[in-house]
Amino acid sequence: MKVANVQKGLLWRRAPPAVFPVCLGVMGLGLAWRKSAEILPVANQIGDLILGFATAYFLWFLALYLVKTLSRPKVVLEDLVQAPARAGIAAAAMCMMLLAAALMPLDIAVAQVWWCGVLLQILASATVCWAIWQDAPALRQFSPFQYLSFVGPVVGPIAGVSLGYVTESLLLTLAAFGAFVVITLGYGRRLLQAPLAVKMRPALVIFLSPNCLFAISFALLGFETGFWVFYWLSSLVALGFLVSAAWLTQGGWSPAWASFTFPVTAFVQVQIIAVQMGAGAPAMAGVFAGLALATPLVLIIAFRFAVEWITGELAEKTEAAIA
């Protein structure tokens, strides 16, 4: 009966948190296009239009999920049984911090939006910790989805530095870096011990995102050496994933394809910063290639997720809890 109600129009009852990583990707795409206007002869309005769409896309799904949560708060804990949902809830907090960056030219309560994102990220990380603790010991395993839950604070400096929260941004970055090291070592060990399911291969691309975001954050915080370390690391990781594209997509379409969206947009932003810092032709090639790949990829995946949300397929595939 509940599923039937969802299909008849009460889509908010099973609003899937798995959509928020795509929201993060669309928001990142808008920021990438806006920043590209600093080095390319393209109109600022392109980025602004995408950011307008990204804001509406994110706030729509956020409102639906809040309605679902308010109608039965325990539903959040039921969603957190699934690892992708844990990442999705953290991605919503990351989106809020990026929304502050998107709103900055308009000066619309930017600081409040940023702090809301920071507090939501802390809450999301704490809630995911609780969910992991509730898992059976055999199920407490590292996964790339944990990068969003625990390394997500690294997006803080993107708006935080411009807002004057330099110390706070540094603390968020350092906390994220500690989590990044632990998760990378733990998940790397797990990959050596067990093969990865074909359907979950796209989730590996999430690893590109923290590498890019650390490069961005270190550049904004003035740590040039840290930027260049993560710039070259992210470039090598991106090249490796590009070469492995056929292997990564062998399992066909699935909600895990959300993992392609936000890393590739973060990669574009890193390349733009590298151009501004004198990296030259290789970085400029990365900007062109990144925009050419990211723009259709992110928008097509965002459209596909919206369609599957309307039909209820996304909730079914991600096993979203019902309010």
- Residue located via tokens 């690892």: 83
pLDDT band at 3 (very low <50, low <70, confident <90, very high): very low
Query: What's the rounded mean pLDDT across residues 1-11?
Result: 49
- Given a cut of 80, is residue 10 above it in pLDDT? no
pLDDT (0 to 100) of residue 275:
97
Say if CB 169 and CB 160 are below 8 A apart.
Answer: yes
Query: What's the rounded mean pLDDT across residues 1-18?
Result: 65
In Å, what is the CA distance from 85 to each residue of 124, 148, 156?
Answer: 11, 11, 21
pTM score: 0.94
pLDDT (0 to 100) of residue 303:
97
The answer for residues whose C-beta is within 8 angstroms of residue 202's C-beta and 6 or more apart is 248, 249, 251, 254, 256, 257, 259, 260
pLDDT band at 134 (very low <50, low <70, confident <90, very high): confident
pLDDT 10s digits, 35-62 = 999 999 999 899 999 999 999 999 999 9
Domain edges within the chain: 2-318
pLDDT (0 to 100) of residue 137:
83
Architecture of domain 2-318: Alpha/alpha barrel (1.50)
pLDDT (0 to 100) of residue 82:
87
pLDDT 10s digits, 277-298 = 999 999 999 999 999 999 999 9
pLDDT band at 151 (very low <50, low <70, confident <90, very high): very high
pLDDT 10s digits, 92-115 = 999 999 999 999 988 788 999 999
Distance CA(208)–CA(206), nearest Å, equals 5
> Which stretches of 135-197 are DSSP H helices?
146-151, 156-160, 166-193
Largest CA distance in the chain: 60
pLDDT 10s digits, 175-186 = 999 999 999 999
Q: What is the CA radius of gyration of the chain?
A: 19
pLDDT band at 195 (very low <50, low <70, confident <90, very high): confident
pLDDT 10s digits, 22-33 = 999 999 999 999
Query: What's the rounded mean pLDDT across residues 188-209?
Result: 92
- Given a cut of 70, is residue 247 above it in pLDDT? yes
C-alpha count within 13 angstroms, C-beta hemisphere, residue 97:
25
Q: Report the first-to-last Cα separation within the chain, whole angstroms.
A: 12
Q: What is the mean pLDDT of the chain?
A: 93
Distance CA(210)–CA(151), nearest Å, equals 7
